Amino acid sequence: MSLITINKTQYHSLLEFETPQYVLSSAVLNGGLQYANRVVNLKVSSNSTPDLTPQQSIQQYCNRQNWHGLSVGMMTAASMNSLRVERQVC
């Protein structure tokens, strides 16, 4: 069984996998079926006018965090405090 780490800051919510996992998503960065190292949801302002595309913004953020490997990324104006986690044992 692979370890999954959940990290939440005021800037992002992050699911990071110990080993890459298949992820199916409609994310703007690397959406579709991907073999990914992490899934990140980036906090953005609801009234900002960015200079970069959403894909570029998320990739640049991942690069600044020094995250290596494939990231699946999306953006939200919702508070990172709205993250809810449920653990289900199969």
Q: What is the pLDDT along the chain (90 residues), one digit of tens a residue?
A: 569 999 999 999 999 999 999 999 999 999 999 999 999 999 988 887 778 999 999 999 999 999 999 999 999 988 888 888 787 777
Enumerate the H helices of 1-90 as residue ranges.
Answer: 54-64
pLDDT in tens, 9-19: 999 999 999 99
- pTM for the whole structure: 0.88
Q: How far apart are CA 21 and CA 35, in angstroms?
A: 5
pLDDT in tens, 26-39: 999 999 999 999 99
Domain boundaries, the chain: 4-81
Quick one: CA dihedral 43, 46, 49, 53, positive or negative? positive
Please, which residues have CB within 8 angstroms of residue 89's CB and are 6 or more apart in sequence? Answer: none
